[in-house]
Structure formats: C-alpha cells, structure tokens
Structure 1
C-alpha cells in the first residue's frame, strides 16, 4: 500500500485469523514496533510478553512469528545495541516492541490513524529489496551483484560496523549532488512532513502528512541566501520551513523539483551520527525517491536508481 505514491506500508498477515496489520516501512527508522492500542486485539493479546530493555526498563513485546502466519515473511532483525531480555536471557527471536503510549506517540498516531505497526531499520537489514515507486510495488530477494557496482546508476552504501566488520545498525548512507556540492545523506523511505495548517494550504491538501526529504539547517539557510528564487514555504512542516530544490543529481541522473524540510544541524552531527558510519547532512525520502525504481541490497551494500522514460524502464549500462 503506497501513500501519496511516495511512502509505503505492508500488510502483516496475522496468525490467529485471516486478518492483517498495516505496518509503515521506514529504512531510516529505529526499533520495529507494534502500536500500543493494538496489543489488546484478541488475535494478538495471547502473544504479548514482558521483558526488560538493557535489564532495567520494563517493556512489552510480541515475538514476530507468533503473530505472523507466513513462515517466510520477512521479519525484523533485532538491533544489536537494543538489548531486550526476558527474565533470565536475552530475547533472540525477531520481535516487535510495544512502547508506552506517550503524548508524542499519540500525536503521531493521530496523524496516521491507520498505523498498526512500524517497521524500522531492522526489517530491511540482511536482505535485498526493490521499491518501485512509479508502479507502486515492493519486492524482496532482489540482489544487486557486486559486479554491478561499476554501473553509473549504482552507488555504494555505508553502514556503521563493529570491529569485526559486521553492521550494527541498518541506516544506509549515500550521496546526492546539488548545485555541484556532494552531500552525504541517509536513505530514508519513511521521511515525512507533518503539515501545519499553512502547509496544507501551501500544498493544497487535507492530508496531515506528506512524503519528504530533510536537510541540515546550515545548508538549508545557505540555499535560502544563495537562491532567493527557489520556492520557500515557511512554517509548513510543523514549525519548520520547506524549500523546493529545482534539480537534484543522484547516481548520475537528474530529477526535480524536490522538497526538503529544515532540520537542526545537531540532529545529524550528534543524534544520527550514533547510528551511521559518517556524519550525514540530511535524508532523502519519497519527495525524491518517487521518481525511481530503487533496488537496495544490504548484503552487497549497493543501491541502484532506475528511471522510467515513456513507460519504459531505463537502466543506464
């Protein structure tokens, strides 16, 4: 299921009956979660367990394969630094955390009331995916061969790894180019604008959220100074402004315009730096990705961008 042709959700088939949960897919997200209000559903409640995060904070969770009825359905890999324990041992199986219902989480749910679950970085790790935005299709087990790394539309991905060379986070780093400047960014399928009333008016929509991309405040502000002709929408993503970049170059291809929302520099230099191999300056989401069929392989650490031209897929050889 695609939202505004630029973000997507998957249906999780439930074990107990012919029913599904709608799960939002976010390569730039954190822990995979089940929304608190869904844990009391009769087909889920019997599988809810109690655990401890890092041995201290109580946390409810559900084992993924207890809940989902297709054995080969992709399941989220537990993030190594997030230690969830049952009373005497670390939880080794794939799971969804059930977070407490905070005011912040409730606000997000209010903006996306169809949200049953959230699939973050761990859902994508260890697999190869195809996200075909123009055709609104998602495929798994679609690897990119290492020999394809020489193609001009294929880029290398960076992941934060331990001393053994094993990825400990699933946040992919790559590059885009704007006005001749190469910018390191997070590949972020879930990047969203939360529209203010002004934002809804600017973009002529009643939707609460739209697919977006983000950029560090220092770069955003420089764009505003250097390009006063670029369209600017103040206080449109909550209190943050959105800017329309006419052309973005990615993997040798140009697309645009692309909308970027402003985010404080410390979001990238301090917060995201903890889960990435280098400091990035932003994130590309659906406002850019919607132009492409994207193949992303977490094993070969490669990503491929293919454009459609007159209904034909163009693969730059």
Structure 2
C-alpha cells in the first residue's frame, strides 16, 4: 500500500524500439536543414527514422518489456498513439494484440494528447491496477507520416519509435513506484494570438497539475525532471512551470534520439534504471506535454525483486 492507503503502482521492465539513427544534415527535410545551426545549438544531433508502422515498433518494444520481466501474461493493454492509422485505430490495436499473442487481453486505445499521450495512458493503467489489481502493458508508439520533422513549438526534431512498460501492483525487478499523478487540460490554450497569454495559460495549467500530483513534503526531495526532448528554452519553461530548476532536467538521450513523440519520458526512465543517476528511494518528476494538455507524475526509484 502507498502512504495514501491506495494500492501501490509500479512501472517496470521499461523498453523501447527506435528508428535508425540519422544525423540531422543527412535528412531530406528542407525545414530541418534551414535550422541546423539552431538545432545544433539546442543540443540536437540526430533523429530516428523508421519505415516500420507504429504497430510494428510497438510490438518490438512490448516484446522486449515482456522478455525483460520474464512473463507472457498481462491483464490489460493500453495502446497510446496519435499517428493516423492505416485502416482504423481499432485495427491497429487488434493487430498489436495479435502480434504479441494476446488476442484475448482487453485493450484500451489512448489518443488525442499528441506528445503527451503517456500521461493519460498512465492514468488509465494505474487506475486498472488500483481497482482490479491488474498488470497492464502500457505502450506508446508514433511515426512521422507526412510533413517536416521540425517541431517549431518545441525547437526540436520528431523521431519514430515506441516505448513500453508494465504497470502493476508489484515491481518486476528495478522499477519506479508511482507516488502521484495528475493531468490538466486547456483546449483553448492556443486561441490567443499573443504568445505571452498562451505561455501564462500553459504555466498556470501545469502548475495546477503539479499541485495535485505532488504532496508538499515531497516537493523539496525531487532530484530530477524528465520531460520531452525539446530545445533548451521550451525545456526551461516547462521545468519552471512545474516548479523545478531548469538545470535539474535530465535529458541524456536528447542528441542521440531527438523527440520521439510521447515515448521520451519512458526512454529517460529506462536510462535511469541502467545508470546510477538516481538512487533507491529518490524521487523523479515526469512531465508529459502537448500544446493543450499536461500531466505531472512523481515516481520513486525502487530495487524490486
């Protein structure tokens, strides 16, 4: 049980499957080439490019997660994606279930929050754990299918890939315990023509999510912030909106991966599990973001069994 009396929720066996590593100057993308100096200044060097459909990327990541946990059974699947489906979103889910040999596992599709889909996906998965004691396979997968890879509002480049984890009532090896989670939405966030007004709405909305996700005694014990692989200024803005100093943003895969839609945070968590950056018992804040919705989560590093 958590300190709030609710059943504990753990994120375990975090894995990912990424497209091929391509240096930014090698991209056939005029908008990226025009901004190479700026992107390099932001710390970006590569992005990931794949011809595989999102379902295939999700399958590769999910199979790695199941192998890492040495298990084949899950109670529920949460499939997050905003990439336009080839046939239909339900077909993507069904194809994914068949590809991982879970044709009878109930599946839930999460979309509509763009690069912030991990937040609502985690909310649904953790609710399944707390209400039913389920073990949930959570996967987020996206691929650029049209247009430029340059993302102006994030000062970054979009990459193709997927990330996944098990969300369950017990840790499956080295894991993160979920200690708080809240989301906020402002569908009208971009209606103003004044960038300052948009920034103010965004900051207030992130602050509202943070106030509900973080209990006051924990606020001063947060070691790092993980968010999307954005440029320096957007990262700093998101961090300060969440009450975290910009220098505490952790982004070791920024140059190597680029901005992999909503997979960035799980990629960062996987990196933390493989390094000594965060010790057992230390807290990390997760901030997932889209232009109109934001989720804040607090996780604690645990060794597991």
Normalising by the smaller structure, the TM-score range is under 0.3
Q: TM-score, normalised by structure 2?
A: 0.27
More strand by percentage: 1
More helix by percentage: 2
Instruction: From the CA coordinates, give the structure whose radius of gyration is larger.
Output: 1
Q: Which of the pair has the greater relative contact order for Cα pairs under 8 Å at 6+ separation?
A: 2
Q: TM-score, normalised by structure 1?
A: 0.27
